[in-house]
Amino acid sequence: MAGGKETPRQKMIGMMYLVLTALLALQVSNAVLEKFIFINKSFEATNEEKVGENRGRIENIKTAVSESGNREADLLVVDKAQNIREESAAVIEVLEDYKEQLIEVTGGTDENGAYVGQKDIDASAALMINAGEGDKLRDRLNSYSAFLREITGDESILDIAKDASEIPVFANDPNQRQKGFAELNFGSSTPMVGALASLSQLQNDVITEETKALEDLAAQVGAADMKFDVIVPMVLPESKIVAPGTKYEADLFLAASSSAVTPTMTIDEEEIEVIDGRGKVSFTATPGAYNKDGIASKSFISAISVSLPGGRDTTFIDTMEYFVVKPVIQIQSQSIGALYLNCGNDLDVQVPQLGTSYNPSFGVKGGVSITGSQTGQVTIIPKSAKVTLSVSSNGNLIGTQDFKVQRIPAPEIKAKLRNRDIDGKTGMPANTPRIQLVAEPDESFAQFLPKDARFQVSQAEITLVRAGRGGPSQRISNPNVDLRQISSQARSGDNLVIEIKQVRRANFRDEVEDFNNFGPRYITIPLK
C-alpha cells in the first residue's frame, strides 16, 4: 500500500484487505467473498470522499494564492496542483475501466445489483496475467509515482505497484514472496470480487499519494496558514468554587484559533496533546513551600509553536502561575488519638481538597497496614509504641500523621454460675457441679475494637481448701469447669481457690495468642 496519511478507517479496511488477500490460496468461501464485497464498497465510498477533499484542497490553494496577490511563484504551485489532480483522475479512470471489464466478462450484475460472476476465479488472471494487462497497469501506476516525485521533488514517494517481496506481510511468506505485482493481486484462484477490491485498494493508494502531494504544495503558498476561523467565548474565573455570600469573579473574552493548522504545544518542554487547536494541560500538582495560609505558589512554562504566513515558524512562550493548597488529612477512627498494640485499628482517611482525584496509598512506620475495599479505608496494626502513617495520592505524598499506641487493657477474670457473677463473700453451694471462668475485656476497648477483644481462660488450677490446708485439686483447659470430682468431697465452710494460669486472645484475623496481662490471678470462692 502507498504511504501518506491514512484515517483509522482506511487503515482498518487496508488491514482486512491484506488478511483476505492472504487467504486466497485457501478454498474461497461465501463468507470470504462477502468480506471482499464489503471491502470493495468501503474503498469505493472512501475514495469518493477523498477525491472530493482533494478538489477542496486545490480550491484552498487557489484562494490562498489569490489572497497573496497571485504571485508568479504561487501561480506555478497552482499549475502543479491541477496537473496532479488531472493525472490522478486519469490513473483512477484506468483502474475503473479494469473493474468494469471484469464485471462485464463475468456476467455483469443481476436485478438486485449483485455480481453474477463474483465467484469466478479465472477472469482476473485471464485479463491481468494471460493478456498482459497487469504489467501495463504496474507500469502505469509506477509512472504516476515517478510523476509525483518529479513534480513535488519528494524522493520519499514510493512506487504504488509492488511485488510481494516489497510488502512486509508477504516478504517472509515462502508461498507468496516470489510473486510479482500482477500474480500477487490477480493470480490464479483470485475471485472476481477479490480483484475488484485490489483495484479499489490501488485507487485508494493513488488518492493517498495525491493527498500528500497536495498538502505539500498547500504549505508552500499558505493554504494552511493560520487564519483565525474558530472563535469561541472563554471564561477565566478566579475560582470555580465559591461559598454562599461571596462573589464569583471571572474574565470573559473571545478566543480564536485556526482549523487549518495544528500547533505544537509544550509544558516545561514536554509536548502535550492538542485537540481542535487546544492543548490539553494535565499534570499532577506537587507540594511546595506553603505560606501561613497553607498556599504554595507554583508555575510552569508554556510554549505554542505555529507556522505563520511565509513559512516562518514562531513560538509564543509565557510563564503560567498557579497555586497549590496544602491538603488536610481527615482521619476518622473508633479510637480517636491513639491506636491499640497488635490490634486491627480501622481508619477512614480522607483528603477533601482532592475530590474525586483522591487515589490513596498508605505507608506505616512502626507497624503494618491493610488497605480496605473503600477509598480511604485502611487497617493499622501497631508493632511499637508510636506509629507514623504516611498518606499519598497517585504516588504523591500528601502528609503524615503520628499516633500514640496503647497497650491492650487487662481483661478481668470472673467466676460465674449460670452466667451470673459468683459473690466472693456469700460464695456458692458446696455441691455446685459446674462454673464458668470468663475473661471480660475492658468495656471501652471492647466497644472500639470488638474483634480484638475476645479473651478466654485457657488454663487454670482449682484447689479445695479446708481449714487453711489444700486438698484435692484439678487442672482445667476449658473455661466451662466440671467441678463434680471436687464437689463430691466438699462441705460447707470449705473454700475453692482458683489460680488462673493462662489467658489467650483471638484478634481480628482470628489468630490466637497468649495474653499475660490479666487479673486477678487468684479467685477464692467460699462454699456453703
| Per-block mean pLDDT, blocks of 10 residues, the chain (528 long) | 52 51 50 80 91 93 86 89 95 95 93 89 91 93 94 90 87 86 86 90 94 89 63 75 66 75 85 85 80 81 76 78 79 74 92 83 94 91 94 87 92 93 91 94 91 94 90 91 90 93 94 93 93
Torsion of CA 263, 266, 271, 272, to 10 degrees: -80
Alpha helices of 112-152 — where are they, by DSSP H?
123-125, 133-152
Domain boundaries, the chain: 8-221, 230-325, 330-406, 412-526
pLDDT reported for residue 438: 95
pLDDT reported for residue 99: 93
Sign of CA dihedral 48, 51, 56, 59: negative
Structural fold of domain 330-406: Immunoglobulin-like (2.60.40)
φ, ψ dihedrals at 488, nearest 5°: -70, -20
Q: Among candidates 428, 431, 382, which has minimal Cα distance to 404? A: 382
pLDDT reported for residue 277: 78
Question: Mapping DSSP to helix (H, G, I), strand (E, B) and coil, where does residue 10 land?
Answer: helix
pLDDT reported for residue 311: 53
CA 353 vs CA 189, 292, 327, 358, 420: distances in Å: 68, 17, 6, 9, 53
Contact yes or no for 326/354 (Cβ under 8 A): no
- Residue linked to cell 510481494: 164
pLDDT reported for residue 27: 45
Element of type H or E holding 21: helix 8-22
pLDDT reported for residue 245: 57
pLDDT reported for residue 25: 40
User: Left if phi > 0, otherwise alpha if psi is -120 to 50, otherwise beta: which for 310?
Assistant: left
Contact yes or no for 452/441 (Cβ under 8 A): no
Question: Are β-strands 396-406 and 338-340 bridged in parallel, bridged antiparallel, or unpaired?
Answer: parallel
Q: Using the 8-state DSSP alphabet, how is residue 281 labeled? A: -
pLDDT reported for residue 452: 94
pLDDT reported for residue 136: 95
Give me the amino acid identity at 381.
Answer: I
pLDDT reported for residue 106: 93
- Residue linked to cell 478466654: 456
Question: Mapping DSSP to helix (H, G, I), strand (E, B) and coil, where does residue 421 land?
Answer: strand
CA distance 20 to 112: 25
CA distance 182 to 195: 10
